[in-house]
C-alpha cells in the first residue's frame, strides 16, 4: 500500500523564506525508515485533471511562468519550472492517495492540502487545489460519486469552498481560526470558526459534533482529510493552542469515525509552521502512524518515531498564510 512523497521535487526558495520546505524530506525519511517499500513518487497531475478544478488559462499561465507579479506575490513563491512540477506532483499525490483509498481503505500524501488555491488564482503557498482536483478525478473515473473534504488545517479552506460552491457532490467541512488567514472567508458546506487560543478539549468537543454531521449530510464514497499541523500551540501562524497529544486525538477521532462509517480516506498533510520544523514533522508523522495503525501494518507503525517534544518556541504572531 503506497504512501506518496513529492519531496524530491524541491521548490527553490530564497534564503529565509517562511515556507518550511525541509519538512517534507524529513517526514519522508522517517516514514521510509520503517516502510521503505511503501514510499512512492506520484505521477504529475495532467492539464485535464487540473482543469476539473481550475481555469485552463490559469493552468497555462502557471505552467509557462506568465502570471503577473501580483499573482505570484499572492501565491508567495517565486516562479520556476520546479515550482510548476512540484505543484503538479503534489496534486498528483492526492489523486494517487485517493485512488489508493478507494482500493484499500486509505491513502496518504506526505504533502498536499493546498486549499487556498482558487479556480483562477493561487494564494497562501497554494498553486493548485489538490483536494478538489483529486475528488473530481475520482468522480470522472467513476470511482466515487460523493466526496467529503474534512479540512482541519487551522486556516479556512477558502479555495476549496469557492471552487465547489455550486457542486452538491462535494461537501466541505472546515474547522479553522476565526481571526486567521484568509481574512475574507468563503462559504464551505459547514464552517466552524474557533477563537484564538482554543485548546485540546474545546477543539475535540467541536470536532465530535461537526464530523458526524458532515458524514451524515454528505454520505460520502470518499473522504479527503487535510490533517494540518498548524493548530499546534507552537505554530507561528496558527493562533490556536492544541498540543501534540490533542492533534493525535484529533487524527484518531477522524480516522476512526470514517472507518466506522465505512468511508475510505485519503490524507494530505497541509500546513505547519512551528519554529522548530521537527515539531511539524512530529505532528505529521503521528498522523501517518495513526493511519498505519488503523488501516495497515500496526506492528510496523509502532516503529515510526514521532517523538513528542516540548514546544521549542513560544508562539509568536507572524502575518498571513498557510
Ligand atoms: Zn494552514
Residues with CB under 5 A from ligand 1 (ion): 153, 155, 228, 230, 271, 322
- Whether residue 311 is predicted with pLDDT greater than 50 in this model: the reply is no
Characterize the bridge pairing of strands 106-109 and 265-268.
parallel
Spatial distance between the Cα atoms of 8 and 40, rounded to a whole number of angstroms: 11
pLDDT digits (tens, 9 = 90+) for 222-279: 999 999 999 999 999 999 999 999 999 999 999 999 999 999 999 999 999 999 999 9
DSSP state of 41: P
Task: Tell me how far CA of residue 222 lies from CA of 88, 169, 272, 284, in angstroms.
Answer: 22, 11, 25, 21
Q: How far is the CA of 142 from the centre of ligand 1 (A)?
A: 31
Per-residue pLDDT, 297: 76
Taking the CA of residue 222 as centre, how many other CA atoms within 13 Å lie in the half-sphere pointing to its CB? 31
Spatial distance between the Cα atoms of 204 and 312, rounded to a whole number of angstroms: 24
Per-residue pLDDT, 129: 98
Predicted TM-score (pTM) of the model is 0.94
Spatial distance between the Cα atoms of 56 and 62, rounded to a whole number of angstroms: 10
What number of residues does the chain have?
322
Query: Phi and psi for 81 in degrees, rounded to 5?
Result: -55, -35
Per-residue pLDDT, 304: 87
Per-residue pLDDT, 50: 98
Per-residue pLDDT, 299: 81
CB-based contacts of 238: which residues, under 8 Å, 6+ apart? 154, 177, 180, 230, 231, 232, 273, 315
pLDDT digits (tens, 9 = 90+) for 111-137: 999 999 999 999 999 999 999 999 999
- Whether residue 284 is predicted with pLDDT greater than 90 in this model: the reply is yes
Q: How far is the CA of 80 from the centre of ligand 1 (A)?
A: 23
Per-residue pLDDT, 163: 98
Per-residue pLDDT, 223: 98
Per-residue pLDDT, 314: 41
- Alpha carbon 245 to chain centroid, angstroms: 19
Helix axes 81-104, 56-64, angle to 10 degrees: 130
Grid cell, residue 199, equals 485548546
Spatial distance between the Cα atoms of 262 and 254, rounded to a whole number of angstroms: 12
Per-residue pLDDT, 313: 43
Of 166, 129, 171, 126, the C-alpha closest to 149 is 171
Task: Tell me how far CA of residue 52 lies from CA of 132, 168, 222, 237, in angstroms.
Answer: 8, 15, 17, 31
Q: How far is the CA of 148 from the centre of ligand 1 (A)?
A: 19
Grid cell, residue 190, equals 459547514
Tell me if 62 sits within 8 A of 84, measured CB to CB: yes
pLDDT band at 315 (very low <50, low <70, confident <90, very high): very low
Q: How far is the CA of 40 from the centre of ligand 1 (A)?
A: 25
pLDDT digits (tens, 9 = 90+) for 208-226: 999 999 999 999 999 999 9
Q: How far is the CA of 101 from the centre of ligand 1 (A)?
A: 23
How many beta carbons lie within 10 A of that of residue 277, not counting itself? Answer: 17
- Alpha carbon 120 to chain centroid, angstroms: 20
- Whether residue 195 is predicted with pLDDT greater than 60 in this model: the reply is yes
Over range 26-33, report the average pLDDT: 94
Amino acid at each position: 500500500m503506497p504512501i506518496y512523497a513529492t519531496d524530491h521535487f524541491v521548490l527553490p526558495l530564497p534564503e529565509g523564506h517562511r515556507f518550511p520546505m525541509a519538512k517534507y524530506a524529513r517526514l519522508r525519511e522517517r516514514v521510509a525508515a520503517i516502510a521503505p517499500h511503501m514510499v512512492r513518487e506520484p505521477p504529475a497531475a495532467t492539464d485535464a485533471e487540473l482543469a476539473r478544478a481550475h481555469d485552463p488559462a490559469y493552468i497555462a499561465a502557471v505552467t509557462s511562468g506568465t502570471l503577473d507579479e501580483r499573482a505570484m506575490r499572492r501565491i508567495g513563491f517565486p516562479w520556476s519550472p520546479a515550482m510548476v512540477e512540484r505543484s503538479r506532483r503534489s496534486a498528483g499525490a492526492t489523486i494517487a492517495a485517493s485512488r489508493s483509498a478507494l482500493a484499500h481503505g486509505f491513502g496518504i500524501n506526505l504533502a498536499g492540502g493546498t486549499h487556498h488555491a482558487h479556480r483562477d488564482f493561487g494564494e497562501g503557498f497554494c498553486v493548485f487545489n489538490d483536494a478538489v482536483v483529486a475528488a473530481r478525478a475520482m468522480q470522472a473515473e467513476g470511482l466515487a460519486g460523493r466526496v467529503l473534504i474534512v479540512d482541519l488545517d487551522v486556516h479556512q479552506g477558502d479555495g476549496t469552498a469557492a471552487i465547489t460552491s455550486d457542486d452538491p457532490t462535494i461537501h466541505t467541512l472546515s474547522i479553522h481560526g476565526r481571526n486567521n488567514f484568509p481574512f475574507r472567508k468563503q462559504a464551505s458546506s459547514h464552517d466552524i470558526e474557533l477563537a484564538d487560543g482554543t485548546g485540546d478539549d474545546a477543539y475535540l468537543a467541536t470536532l465530535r459534533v461537526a464530523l458526524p454531521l458532515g458524514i451524515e449530510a454528505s454520505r460520502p464514497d470518499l473522504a479527503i482529510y487535510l490533517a494540518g499541523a498548524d493548530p499546534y500551540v507552537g505554530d507561528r501562524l496558527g493562533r490556536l493552542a492544541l498540543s501534540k497529544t490533542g492533534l493525535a486525538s484529533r487524527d484518531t477521532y477522524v480516522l476512526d469515525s470514517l472507518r466506522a462509517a465505512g468511508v475510505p480516506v485519503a490524507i494530505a498533510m497541509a500546513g505547519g509552521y512551528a519554529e522548530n520544523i521537527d515539531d511539524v514533522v512530529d505532528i505529521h508523522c503521528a498522523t501517518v502512524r495513526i493511519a498505519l495503525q488503523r488501516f495497515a501494518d500496526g506492528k510496523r507503525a509502532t516503529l515510526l518515531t514521532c517523538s513528542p517534544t516540548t514546544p521549542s518556541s513560544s508562539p509568536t504572531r507572524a502575518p498571513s498564510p498557510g
